[in-house]
Structure 1
Amino acid sequence: MDFSPQQAILELGPALYDPVAPADFPQTILRFRNDRAAVEIGLDGLSDADWIRHFGRFQPLPGSLEQPLALRYHGHQFRVYNPEIGDGRGFLFAQILDDTGRLMDLGTKGSGQTPYSRFGDGRLTLKGGVREILATEMLEALGVRTSRSLSLIETGESLHRGDEPSPTRSAVLVRLSHSHIRIGAFQRAAYHHDDESLRRLTDYVLRNLYRETPGDAPAIQLLDQAVARTARLAGQYMAAGFVHGVLNSDNINLTGESFDYGPWRFAPTWDVAFTAAYFDQNGLYAFGRQPEAIHWDVMQLAASLRLIAESDPLIKTLETFGDRYQAGVIDALLWRLGVKPLDGASDLALVQALERGLRESQVPLDRFFHDHFAGRPPEGPGFEELRSRLQPYSARKNRDHPYWSDARPCSMLIDEVEEIWSAIDERDDWAPLHAKVAAIRRLGEALA
């Protein structure tokens, strides 16, 4: 498609962002470019040299933003309100229309200090960038709406971190995502009693992200979309067996698109207490608590919108989250099982039987879904009810993709992540990463 640059973010006005300058890195070594994503925004024709100029040196893309913007926001972090955050090691670099006409943002991670860096260096470890590539590729393959890792460039600096061996290598990541607007942006405006910024944000999201004309009650209209989208995301997380790790309100996108991957994990089994972050000692963001966590974050959005809307319709809209989550997790689990929906009652009973079987058997999730989709449903007493309830269901697609003949499923558990990183760290061997990305995309083709 043709490159279609945009500047829609400027509609929000300077109260919601700060122009910033990117860091001047000692090196720019291209390590990963996602041409599959780049073709959707008309950038796949860039030479490697031009790619590095734009995504390592941050020369502006013609017609898009003339200067990077660090967005201002607040947020609840592990349920504690923090008014001193914002884009601290990233910025919005450009906006572009994709091949479906959606407004897409190119945001960075590790691009240098901003007014919100506080005591941070504004940098990203190379390992962190590699982990984000693996997370986004796997989630996309498993049907989760996610940002995508567009570019990873090694930057030649040595970083010191307290939670991993140091010094370690540095990188700058560019994400392609449908919006850079977080719940925390609304929280910041509400914190400052800035009704005008709340209205601007609401109008911006409705017009540019939801592609809707604001009606008589735009805040309710926005919340209704946000509830629907985030409830669906929560269901997709569960079906993928994914644990984000840090579902703070500043990490929830208004489009319901997952992003910002720090201490993520894929759960080996259906263990609702499984956590991703070593510092989540109380299990606030454990696997089984993620729907609750996302709902709580959306409640903070509703609380912020009270400055420009009545409480009763906001509360009524919030109360739809549970039903929408149930519909979302049913859709996502049926999709991963590879069967077509039948009817509401049957689909719910099937999913309940599936969850009971997975919980009681503690069978490896990747193995279970691989074998089931391939036509080899698991045996054992824990799945008797599931097998019975599956009888009237039909397959949603054929199983002739060669992936389903593989002896082992494509998975992304922590041991493999560490092996891929060790090859890079110890031998500068990038072949395992690129091989894994190819294998994940093959999984995605089999499931699509």
Structure 2
Amino acid sequence: MIDKTDKKIILQIKGLRLEAVRGKNVIVDNVDVTLHAGEVLGLIGESGAGKSTIGLSAMSYARAGVHIAGGSVEIDGVNIRELNAAGRRDVRGKRIAYVAQSASAAFNPAHTIMDQVCEAPTIHGIMSRQEAEAWARELFKSLDLPDHETFGDRYPHQASGGQLQRAMAAMAMSCRPDILVLDEPTTALDVTTQIEVLILLKSLIREYGSAALYITHDLAVVAQVADRIKVLRHGKEVEEGTVDEVLQSPKEEYTRQLVAVRGAAASERAVQSSVQDEVILQVEHVDAAYGTFKVVNDVSLDVKRGETVAVVGESGSGKSTLARIITGLLPPIGGKILFKGEPLPKSLAERSKNLRRQIQLVYQIPDVALNPRQRLLETIGRPVSFYAGLGGDQSMVNEDGDQPVKETLDHSSKKYFGMKSSEVHKRTLELLD
């Protein structure tokens, strides 16, 4: 536990208020945040509580459609809201870095991972390119990335979601910043790797005397990594205290409800089996590779109608790649796939419109699947029009979808609408990554 009375205040946010540009709806209302050197402050609350919005505000940044309407954001006593654009650019990355929920959306697909990790320290003049590459390889090794000496030579599409999430953590640490804003950075990782990354991040924070805002809805995670917790609801602060104070003796009813949900034993449910004898999908001895790097080796599985088959494994074990193979996004280099007893064309381009409709993928990272330039109604209505030949009002799924654009949604809402987009296809087989 960090004794905050003995530590320097690195970040201080006072009276923070954010509003929607249209309608002036209040998103964050009069929130204070104090962060000390070597400390991890957990921001917790349900979806829409304002956690990520506050995290971005610590960099004096607001998403499209939102603006900072009041309050101050001080790093080492300097109000960065009063800096000009050049001053804010100098602070971001160098003094404070952001690790987002969606690693896939954070990387440029046209550049190698090494180029992107080395970009900030070289631009800020902190290191030479050679020094930055050496530091990057050290971070890759610490984050348990495979082949850490050559991992940086990969392009983002050649890494798994979990590997990209760790690479993004390396990118954030590349300038050795004073403050890290960690926006659910372990979302895409398996449980074992999640714990390892959390331990590593906390040790790096301690080693360099930096500090972190850890944004999450997962109380189990925040209990492992945080020193203090601030509970948020509807953009307002509910309570704040040490981890033990908040989780063991919460003062407010809302916090008690959050803790009760976490501790509640899962109720046993009798599940009516609807599995039928018909085999919908047969994957037989499938192999796949990215270039010369083999990622799936001799995998077989069957899925019957009405059955749910779970594919589990550590980050980078080939789970998402298998889903891409089945959907035709990545043709296999060996083996075969049968759908309803018939050979399934390996490439998506070779499949009929009807086959594409029947096999649908819900992406691990919703930002990859949702076009930020389209309203939700357009996104969900487009597949209806494409597959069913509907147009105009017939493809209108829900009038509520015409209100927000995707840039204004939080991660959970994007995930929900990504699944809704898949559901309208009347699919036979759904792959949930």
After TM superposition, the score normalised by the length of structure 1 is 0.28
After TM superposition, the score normalised by the length of structure 2 is 0.29
Structure having the higher strand fraction is: 2
